[in-house]
Structure 1
C-alpha cells in the first residue's frame, strides 16, 4: 500500500478553530507534530513515516494553527499545548504518544511536563530549548539554520525554500530536490498571512511560550530523544541536556544526519519509534 495524502486528510473543529490533519491506522494513538518552518505540514514532515507507523498504531499528523490548512492564528495568543489537548479531546483520545520534530518536539516536551496525564510516550527530534536568550548551542544567538528559516519566511519562493531545505539536511543532493522544495513553497505561499504573522512576531515565533526547564525532571513518560549529529538548526547538545534531566530517557545520536532525522533516516526512525512505543 502506498498512501495518498488526499485519502487520509481530515478536518475537525476545536476551540481554537479548524484543525486539518491526516489519520490512518488502528491501535494506540501516535500524534506527529511538525516543525516550525514555512510550508511545514503534518504530511510534508512525516510522509515517509506515516504509513510505516500506521501498521501498529493509530497515526494522527495535524497541521498546527497557521500551517497547512489549519486555522490562522495570532502568535501572541496561541498555545500549542492547548491546541494539542483540544485535538485529543475532539478526537476522543485520553492519552497518546507524541512525536515531535523541532517546534513539534518542543510542544511535546511541554505537554509531557505540563499535561503528563495526556502523554504516554515522548519522542523528539531536534527540539529547541531556550538555553539562554535564544541560545541554541555553544555559539550563542540564532543558529545558522534558524537565520535561514526566518529568511525563508520573508522569501518563500522555491529558491528561498531550497536554501531552507538544504540547511535542514545533511545530504542535500538526496533530500533537497525540486519536488519537496516546490511542495513546501506552494504550502507556504498560499498562507501569506501566516508568513506575515511570523515576520511581525519576530524571533519569538514560532515558539511564543517556552518550556520551563525546571520541570523537565518531573516528566514521567518514557522518552526517546533522537538527534542528528550534523544538525545546523538546533545543536545536539539540547538533546544531551534533555537526556540528563528526564529520568526515563534514552538518546540516539545519528551521524550524517541533519535536523530532519525522520526524513533522512526514515527506516531507522520508523523502527526506533515502533519498538520504543510497543515495548515501553
Structure 2
C-alpha cells in the first residue's frame, strides 16, 4: 500500500549557492531526483504528487522546485542554471549518485546533467522532453498549441487560463482537472515574481545541449512520451532515442504531456523496473 504523504509533511528547504531551494522528500533507497516542467504554477509536488508515495516505497524521492518556480528563490531566465543547481543540491545533501527523472524542462536539465556530470547520474529518465534539430512531423518552427497556452497562463493568470493549461497538457484532464487548475493558480499568484521573471527573458540557451553532446551520453536512458502530446511533439523523443546509444523509448497512447500524471501506475512501474534493472 502506498505511503500516506502530504505536500506539507514532506516539505524541506536547503540553502545553496543558487539560492534558497524548496523540495519534497520521502522514502528510502537509491535517490531519485524528480525535476518538474515549466509553466505557470509548476512545482515538484504538482508534477509528481501522484508518483512520490509509490516510488518512495523503494527509493528516496527528491521533488525539487527549481529556482524560478514554486517556493524556491526567484531568478531571471538569463541567470538560471538548473543543472548547476542540481549539482549543488546533490553536494549539499551528500548524494554521490542519483537517478534523474525530468518532465519537459526538467527533462532538458536531466539531459544536460548527463552531458556535464555523467559520473553523478545513474539513470536518465525523461517525459515529454524536447530536442534540438529540424523536425519532420511536428508543428514546425513556431510554438505549439500547448506552449501558446502556457505563455497565456503567465500573462493572464486566472482560473480560466489554468483550466486551458490543464486541458492542453493532458489527453483527458479527468475528474481532478478543476483541482489541478486551482492548485496551479494558487501557486502562481503566491509568487508573482516568478511570472514576471519568466516573461522577461524566455528560454536560456544553456538549457538545451547540442546534438553532438547528447550523442555522447553513456548513462542508461529511458525516454517516455505521450503520443497525443500537444506541447512537445513525440518526434523529439524519437530524435533523442536515435542520438543516445544506450536508450529506449516508451510511446504511450492516449497520453499528453503529463505521462506521470495521466498514466501514474504505468509510469511508476516503468521507472522502478528501469532503475532496478539497468
Alignment TM class, shorter chain as reference: over 0.9
5 Å-filtered alignment, 1:57-68, equals 57-68=59-70
Q: Distance in 1 between matches of 2:207 and 2:75?
A: 14
Would you say the 8 A contact 2:97–2:120 is kept in 1? yes
Equivalent residue for 2:150?
A: 149
Secondary structure of the 1:188 match is helix
Residue 169 of structure 1: how far off its partner (Å):
0.1
Would you say the 8 A contact 1:188–1:195 is kept in 2? yes
Equivalent residue for 2:226?
A: 228
Secondary structure of the 1:44 match is helix
Q: Distance in 2 between matches of 1:112 and 1:72?
A: 25
Equivalent residue for 1:172?
A: 173
Count how many residue pairs are aligned between Structure 1 and Structure 2: 276
Would you say the 8 A contact 1:128–1:136 is kept in 2? no
Equivalent residue for 1:121?
A: 123
Equivalent residue for 1:77?
A: 79
Equivalent residue for 2:160?
A: 159
5 Å-filtered alignment, 1:21-100, equals 21-100=23-102
Verify: 1:183 aligned to 2:172, yes or no.
no
Residue 173 of structure 1: how far off its partner (Å):
3.6
Q: Distance in 1 between matches of 2:94 and 2:136?
A: 38
Note the alpha carbon deviations across 1:118-172, whole angstroms, 9 max, x for none.
110000000122335x999342211111111011111121111111111000003
Residue 242 of structure 1: how far off its partner (Å):
0.6
Q: Distance in 2 between matches of 1:138 and 1:71?
A: 34
Equivalent residue for 1:256?
A: 254
Q: Residue 273 of structure 2 is aligned with which of 257, 272, 275? A: 275
Secondary structure of the 1:5 match is coil
Query: Bigger shift: 209-218 or 164-173?
Result: 209-218
Secondary structure of the 2:213 match is helix
Equivalent residue for 1:200?
A: 200
Q: Distance in 2 between matches of 1:208 and 1:143?
A: 21
Q: Distance in 1 between matches of 2:36 and 2:79?
A: 20
Q: Distance in 1 between matches of 2:136 and 2:116?
A: 23
TM-score (norm 1): 0.95
Q: Residue 102 of structure 1 is aligned with which of 95, 101, 104? A: 104
Residue 198 of structure 1: how far off its partner (Å):
1.0
Note the alpha carbon deviations across 1:153-208, whole angstroms, 9 max, x for none.
11121111111111000003445x21111011000111111101111113x26x65
Equivalent residue for 2:237?
A: 239
